[in-house]
């Protein structure tokens, strides 16, 4: 069985290759160690805006030519910005590997930052910012992030603010790009039907460009969020149901992700999970329930999200807390634990059948410097015990931050 192999180019860029024979495709992905984690109040949103601008012209490709050339070679392309990273990917037939490598390398090293293109893109991103308010539960989600990560860059929104976006100049973008989109801050992932020797040749041919400035520092900074204690926040909106968010601070970080994933699978992983069976089917208190961790490099949260009929959210919250208290005390049954492990390990196997999904798993793990998350995931999952789950679940004995979006009062 193939496994990911890591090597480094002379300019400091990290390359990770995994050979998946007989797939006839290649996924080329560049993961950059920057997102809102590297921003401040004045430039919040610059990582996301920069992602847009890199499609608007490079040394070798005119604006709007990038998507066209990838499509012409049968490829799929996309990009994304998170709090911890920005990534770009192209997946296409392996015979066009050089096209994918050339396009992504030109984007991450040779963007042109045409002033006209920058100004044309600003209203596009501003419209994205405005669209978020179409979601009636937006306020409670954003306030939850601001409270959970208070005093850290994670409290800021990835998309930034209208004021910031409109203030971005070519020089601001170039300076940020030069130091953050740096070979030493970049991990190139190559997964698919090429050998390690071919992968090395491809990487060296397209990604060996030397940087002109020093790499930005600060990506590995650690923060301790400020303690927030508060009454439940309630938002009245034009909705027909109650929406409830209960957020717990997670003391651990991304390396513990497998344990949290097993916990989530037991609690809310599908129709037969504990919370669905109890809150939705047995008691009829919710129309939907979900749960999961939000883990960053050095802080995190665990979120429960419930949708109830009007005025049922308080009772649903009470029952949720009772179920969690019982779960902390008793832990999962052997059967619940085994089913959760089987579902997660099976999902991992299916993920590895697709070059693009495989590359994303590698990119995430290597960029956040949690390589074991990729290399030993199934072994970690299999080794988790009921005691491990109970230990993690003790976070539910701490005080949750509560947010509710409810129908507007008829008197308003």
What architecture is the 5-207 domain classified under in CATH? 2-Layer Sandwich (3.30)
Distances (CA, A) of 214 to 86, 184, 227: 19, 9, 35
* Cα distance between residue 326 and residue 126, in whole Å: 46
Q: In the chain, what are the domain boundaries?
A: 5-207, 233-407
Burial of 381 (0-12, 13-18, 19+ CB in 10 A): buried
Same fold, 5-207 and 233-407: yes
**pLDDT value at residue 1:** 46
**pLDDT value at residue 2:** 62
Q: What stretches in the chain show pLDDT beneath 70?
A: 1-2, 252-255, 352-353, 411-412
**pLDDT value at residue 140:** 95
**pLDDT value at residue 255:** 63
**pLDDT value at residue 348:** 80
Q: For the chain, what percent of residues have pLDDT higher than 90?
A: 83
Return the CATH number of 233-407, one of 3.40.710.10, 3.40.50.620, 3.40.50.300, 3.30.830.10: 3.30.830.10
* Cα distance between residue 226 and residue 148, in whole Å: 8
């Amino acid at each position: 069985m193939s496994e990911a192999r890591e090597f480094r180019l002379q300019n400091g860029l990290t390359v990770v290759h995994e050979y998946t024979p007989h797939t006839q495709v290649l996924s080329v992905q560049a993961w950059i160690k920057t997102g809102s984690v590297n921003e401040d109040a004045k430039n919040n949103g610059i990582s996301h805006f920069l992602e847009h601008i890199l499609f608007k012209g490079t040394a070798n490709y005119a604006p709007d030519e990038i998507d066209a050339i990838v499509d012409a070679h049968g490829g799929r392309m996309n990009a994304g910005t998170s709090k911890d990273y920005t990534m770009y990917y192209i997946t296409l037939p392996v015979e066009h590997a050089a096209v994918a490598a050339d396009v992504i390398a030109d984007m991450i090293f040779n963007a042109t930052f045409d002033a006209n293109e920058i100004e044309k893109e600003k209203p596009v991103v501003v419209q994205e910012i405005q669209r978020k308010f179409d979601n009636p539960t937006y306020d409670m989600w954003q306030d939850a992030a601001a409270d959970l990560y208070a005093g850290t860059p994670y409290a800021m929104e990835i998309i930034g603010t209208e004021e910031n976006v409109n203030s971005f100049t070519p020089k601001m973008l170039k300076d940020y790009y030069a130091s953050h989109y740096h070979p030493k801050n970049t991990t190139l992932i190559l997964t698919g039907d090429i050998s390690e020797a071919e992968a090395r040749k491809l990487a060296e041919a397209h990604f060996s460009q030397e940087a002109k400035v020093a790499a930005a520092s600060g990506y590995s900074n650690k923060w301790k969020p400020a303690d927030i204690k508060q009454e439940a926040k309630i938002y009245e909106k034009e909705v027909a149901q109650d929406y409830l968010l209960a957020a717990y601070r997670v003391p651990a970080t991304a390396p513990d992700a497998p344990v949290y994933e097993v916990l989530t699978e037991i609690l809310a992983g599908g129709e037969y999970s504990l919370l669905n069976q109890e809150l939705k089917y047995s008691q009829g208190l919710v129309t939907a329930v979900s749960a999961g961790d939000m883990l960053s490099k050095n802080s995190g949260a665990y979120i429960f999200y419930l949708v109830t009929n009007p005025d049922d959210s308080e009772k649903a919250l009470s029952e949720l807390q009772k179920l969690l208290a019982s779960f902390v005390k008793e832990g999962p049954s052997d059967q619940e634990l085994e089913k959760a492990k089987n579902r997660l390990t099976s999902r991992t196997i299916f993920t590895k059948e697709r070059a693009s999904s495989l590359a994303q798993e590698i990119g995430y793990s290597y960029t956040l410097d949690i390589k074991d998350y990729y290399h030993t995931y199934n072994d970690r999952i299999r080794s988790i015990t009921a005691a491990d789950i109970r230990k993690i679940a003790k976070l539910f004995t701490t005080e949750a931050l509560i947010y509710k979006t409810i129908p507007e009062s008829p008197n308003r």
